[in-house]
Amino acid sequence: MNPETSLEAGRLFAGVKEKATILKKTEVVIAPPFVFMPKGFRKTKKVALGAQDTFWGGTGAATGEVSTLQLKHLGVSHVIIGHSERRFLGESDAMVARKLGAVLADGMTPILCVGEQSRDSHGEYLGMVSKQIADSLANISNKDISQVIIAYEPLWAIGKNATGVIDAHGLHEMTIFIQKTLTTLYGREMAKKVRIIYGGSVDGKNVGELIARGNVTGFLVGRASLAVADFNAILSAVDSV
């Protein structure tokens, strides 16, 4: 629910859009709150428009929800599904699966968020992540899996109260596990086509190491996206690798 005003949101978008015009290798997706989308947030050749969530129904009685058809009409190309904050409010893997299917059906790219709340010495958190992936992708065929982006976002590494920050080695290990899970579900060749990104206290200082050695193709940026200078520093670091 940031920022507070459409004016501030417009300034953020303009600042990032200006930076994006000089990027050579980096795809940028901006996902503003729904209420700001009609206020000048339009996709360009360098900046795609994303949504923070959606509903699985196309039309009908679902007060307060926003459908995939409505998002597509606004020019949205990417939709975040199953974000940790949505899951915290009670969103289940079954709900995530329905949303993901609706996004794909309407020709948009789902960004599926998965990640453990905490880590244990016995590695049981790995089972939690693999179950999230399997259940969330329950209805996704081999034909469609390459259109899905998976965002790994461990809850313990997110936000100002984070208890730790993952390093490139740890991230690399986790992405290998995610790829192994996808291989079990879809086979090695299809699993290799799924892009994996990372979200968890990413900033201009650690992003270079994470993109270079963490085995990810990008990032799901939260807090740092609320300051143009901070977000653009991340873009510069990613584009230089």
Phi-psi region of 40 (alpha: psi -120 to 50; beta: other; left: phi over 0): left
Q: How confident is the model at residue 121 (pLDDT cuts 50, 70, 90)?
A: confident
Mean pLDDT, range 50-70, rounded to an integer: 94
Task: Scan for tokens 């740890």, then name that residue.
Answer: 170
Q: What is the pTM of this model?
A: 0.95
Lowest-confidence range among 116-125, 135-144, 213-222? Answer: 116-125
Q: Nearest 5°: phi and psi at 129?
A: -65, -45
Cross-strand partners of 80: 111
Residue-level pLDDT at 154: 93
**Which homologous superfamily does the CATH classification assign to the domain defined by 55-239?**
Aldolase class I (3.20.20.70)
Residues 6+ apart with CB under 8 A from 49: 29, 30, 31, 37, 41, 42, 43, 74, 75, 76, 77, 78
pLDDT in tens, 144-175: 999 999 999 998 887 655 656 789 999 999 99
Cross-strand partners of 197: 151, 218
Of all residues in the chain, the percent with pLDDT exceeding 90 is 84
Give the number of other Cβ atoms within 10 Å of residue 2's Cβ: 12
Residue-level pLDDT at 160: 59
All structural domains of the chain with their residue ranges = 55-239
Residue-level pLDDT at 165: 75
Mean pLDDT, range 79-94, rounded to an integer: 96
pLDDT for 45 beyond 90: no
Residue-level pLDDT at 38: 82
β-pair type (76-81, 109-114): parallel
Q: How confident is the model at residue 33 (pLDDT cuts 50, 70, 90)?
A: very high
Residue-level pLDDT at 176: 98
> Where in the sequence numbering do the catalytic residues fall?
83, 153
Residue-level pLDDT at 163: 58
Give the C-alpha separation, 25 to 119, whole Å: 34
